[in-house]
Amino acid sequence: MPALCPTLRRDGDQVVILDQTRLPFEEHYLHLAGLADAVTAIRDMQVRGAPLIGATAAFGVALALRHDASDATLEEADRSLRQTRPTAVNLHWALNRMRAALLPLAPDARGAAAWAEAEAIRREDAAANARIGEHGLALLRRQAATARRPLNIMTHCNAGWLATCGHGTALAPLYAAHAAGLDIHVWVSETRPRNQGLLTAWELARSGLPHTLVADNAAGWLMAEGRVDCVIVGADRIAANGDTANKVGTYLKALAARAHDVPFYVAAPRSTIDLACPNGAAIPIEERDADEVRMLAGLAGDGSVVRARLVASTSAVCNPAFDVTPAGLLTGIICESGVLAPDALAPLATS
């Protein structure tokens, strides 16, 4: 397994995060000193990935309660953090868990309890990542047994350790396979407009895992050419019927995979499965700032990071951050409990 740079950790009465808006050009860490910093980190995508967003929100509550653990402060922290990102259900799951743990307590007991609960959420996510890796590895071993070349896996966006508190969701099986000696290669799509595939390429390069970065529009052609053995992506919310919201562009890859008989898996912890959400139509889709599409960041010749405009500021832009892949296009959902059929999630409510 790769050595991890911590995406989120406590440092005294503050929280340290890896600022992902500076990647892949610079590895820079930020100290979050209060609730406002945590809100900014989530809203502005300094942290990203559904599991990491949830854990950061939990630590945001702990930061908010350091000096005042009254009901009013707890309610304000909960409200402010819930408003940051609408699609990733792990955010709301973590905040619900924090409320359930803290509201019954007297205010003078809430501070320590908030830190403890946030740490528990962080540890449990890392453990869930490890189990997702184990279950995914079993799938990849079966596929590798019949492959006549390196097993070629495609992913989309970033669902590795940058997006979680452990080894990732979609990337966890790949890291496990690499550690187990399987001959694998990863197709990494760039994932415009935030170019989060570049973060996946950055991760995989640090781990020595063979990979190739491709433009998003190359995915269908690669599948048609028989150069993709399976697709594994993460998720930001999975509805009760198995419909899955993930980074925009996932749906197109699922359609291409179905057309060319390529297995298509979603990897996510159970906290991403929203049994209160009946189907994909009920998942709120975040629309982000138009300049994410109009502008592009890159390195200048002198090594400085520069932003370049691609189109006029008056050009109309639609910038949905996510799309929904119908359950019927999924081969399976890999979670810490095993590999689930997309249409068989209801038993999780009682397990």
| Fold type of domain 8-124 | Four Helix Bundle (Hemerythrin (Met), subunit A) (1.20.120)
Given a cut of 90, whether residue 87 has pLDDT beyond it is: no
Share of the chain above pLDDT 90, in %: 89
User: Please, what sign has the CA dihedral across residues 250, 251, 252, 255?
Assistant: positive
* pLDDT average, residue stretch 231-238: 97
Residues 236, 243, 274, 323: which is the catalytic one? 236
Q: By the 8 A CB rule, do 133 and 127 touch?
A: no
b/e 15-42 (16+ beta carbons within 10 angstroms → b): bbbbbbeebbeeeeebebebbebbbebb
Tokens of 268: 């996510």
71 is catalytic: no
Given a cut of 70, whether residue 337 has pLDDT beyond it is: yes
pLDDT computed for residue 351 by the predictor: 58
* pLDDT average, residue stretch 211-237: 97
Cα–Cα distance measured from residue 127 to residue 348, given in angstroms and rounded to the nearest whole number = 18
Say which range, 51-60, 73-82, 304-313, has the weakest mean pLDDT.
304-313
Say which range, 131-135, 194-198, 301-305, has the weakest mean pLDDT.
301-305
For the chain, give every residue range classified as CATH 3.40.50.10470.
133-349
Given a cut of 80, whether residue 3 has pLDDT beyond it is: no
**Is residue 273 classed as helix, strand or coil in its secondary structure?**
strand
What is the tens place of the pLDDT at every residue in 277-298? 999 999 999 999 999 999 988 8
Given a cut of 60, whether residue 350 has pLDDT beyond it is: no
Given a cut of 90, whether residue 147 has pLDDT beyond it is: no
What is the tens place of the pLDDT at every residue in 243-272? 999 999 999 999 999 999 999 999 999 999
* pLDDT average, residue stretch 322-328: 97
What is the tens place of the pLDDT at every residue in 149-204? 899 999 999 999 999 999 999 999 999 999 999 999 999 999 999 999 999 999 99
Mean pLDDT (the chain, rounded)? 94
Tokens of 304: 């400085």
pTM for this structure? Answer: 0.93
For the chain, give every residue range classified as CATH 1.20.120.420.
8-124
- Collect contacts of 338-346 with beta carbons under 8 A, ≥24 apart: 338/135, 339/135, 339/139, 339/265, 341/242, 342/241, 342/242, 342/244, 342/266, 343/241, 343/242, 345/238, 345/240, 345/241, 345/242, 345/273, 345/275, 346/240, 346/275
| pLDDT range class, residue 99, cuts 50, 70, 90 | very high
* pLDDT average, residue stretch 135-153: 92
* pLDDT average, residue stretch 331-344: 94
What architecture is the 133-349 domain classified under in CATH? 3-Layer(aba) Sandwich (3.40)
* pLDDT average, residue stretch 81-87: 92
